[in-house]
Amino acid sequence: MFTQFFGNYLLNKGLVDTQQLADALAIQKETRPRLGVLAINAGYMTAEQVDKVHAEQQRVDKRIGDIACDMGFLTREQVEELLSTQGAAHLQLGQALVNSGAMTNAAFADALNSYKKENSLNDVDFGGDSTGKIDDIIRKFYNFSEDDREAYLTEYVALLFKNIIRFIGDDFTPLASEHLNKADAVLAAAQKINGDFACTTIIEALSNSYLGFASRYAGEELTELDEMAHASTGEFLNLHNGLFTVNVSNEMNTELKLEPQEIMETGCSMQGEVYGIPLVFPFGLVRFLLVL
């Protein structure tokens, strides 16, 4: 899950723009991190050394790993170790950004190291599911700490991210959080939660992004804003909210009740305290709103 927040970090630092990030997310899965990016991530090579190895590869017909060993930057064991970690999502994202020219190896190395340092993360955290650290990053990112519903909000958003990764995909980046006093949506699926954590939960997007999201959950390409597209978006919301109520019941000993989900084809406007969670996917922007 840290990979998604790493994408936001790159945006916030002005190292990439939203379009560059969305393009990289779209090709991330097909991108295999090259040895240079893996070596930077592991701290075995500097960006400068990687550039030297790449320059050398233009001159001699040898594999990057062999050149890095010849130049004394890596050992054979390190090359083997690095090649076995090629699937890490944050490195695929980084490589996609380097390949597209959005970032240099050096800029990626600096950003990755700063991000790890600022959030006390290691590679295991990046690929794993360390609940405590995820909760920390969510609390900080969405400024929940000053809200007396902090525990519910953190649980809701942490689970939302897990469910999106599980049912929609991991190729998204959260944009800056929103704290508003009104929720406006053009096209939305909504569901009310009643009980100690009473709120209206909304998924809203423009039609293309809405269809992209619905297609992912349905597991088939949906091209019309018809009953199936609405059923898919609504069912994701219902499933997520249902699992949230289970967690709240088990962990906080509180029973919440759900109302049936509603589709708002002509949009909606609701007054209240609103937390907005905008996420960028390759198919566009999708916003999750919590109206409290």
Partner 1 sequence: MTVETMKVLICDDSMLARKKIKTALSQIGVTQVFEASDGEQAIAVFKDKRPDITLMDIVMPKIDGVEALKAILAEDPKAKVVMASSVGTQENLKEAIKAGAFDFLQKPVSEDQIKSLISKTVK
Binding site for partner 1 (CB under 8 A): 167, 217-218, 227-228, 231-232, 234-235, 238-243, 245-246, 249-250, 255, 258-261
With beta carbons less than 8 A apart as the criterion, state whether 182 and 200 touch.
no
Instruction: Name which of 106 and 228 has its Cβ closer to partner 1.
Output: 228
β-strand pairing of 262-264 with 268-281: unpaired
- Cα–Cα distance between 154 and 158 in angstroms, integer? 6
In the complex, what is the shortest distance from the CB of residue 290 to partner 1, in angstroms, rounded to a whole number?
18
Shortest Cβ distance from residue 261 to partner 1 (Å)?
Answer: 8
The set of residues, in sequence order, having a beta carbon less than 8 Å from that of 4 and lying 6+ positions away, is 161, 170, 172, 173, 174
If the CB atoms of residues 20 and 201 are measured against partner 1, the closer one turns out to be 201
User: Residue 258 CB, nearest distance to partner 1 (Å)?
Assistant: 5
Q: Distances from the Cα of 155 to the Cαs of 164, 174, 251, in angstroms? A: 14, 17, 10
Using the minimum distance from each CB to partner 1, give the nearer residue, 129 or 220: 220
Q: Closer to partner 1 by CB, 230 or 287: give it.
A: 230
DSSP-derived pairing of the beta strands 188-194 and 199-205: antiparallel
> What is the closest distance, in whole angstroms, from the C-beta atom of residue 132 to partner 1 in the complex?
24
Is residue 126 within 8 A of residue 2, CB to CB? The reply is: yes
Find the shortest distance in angstroms from Cβ 219 to partner 1.
Answer: 9
Amino acid at 132: G
204 token code pair: 């809203």
Closest CB 188 distance from partner 1, rounded Å = 16
- Residue 115: CB minimum distance to partner 1, A: 33
Q: Using the minimum distance from each CB to partner 1, give the nearer residue, 142 or 236.
A: 236
Cβ distance to partner 1 smaller for residue 107 or 248: 248
Nearest to 112 by CA among 85, 90, 82: 90
Tokens of 61: 């017909």
State the minimum distance, in angstroms, from the CB of residue 281 to partner 1: 19
Nearer to partner 1, 145 or 249 (CB): 249
Q: Which residues contact 119 (CB under 8 A, 6 or more apart)?
A: 2, 5, 133, 137
**Nearest partner of 131 among 50, 139, 107, judged by Cα:** 139
Residues in contact with 248: Cβ distance below 8 Å, sequence separation at least 6, in sequence order: 152, 155, 197, 254, 256
Residue type, 58: Q
Give 154 or 191: the residue with its C-beta nearer to partner 1: 191
Cα(235)–Cα(231) distance, rounded to whole angstroms?
6
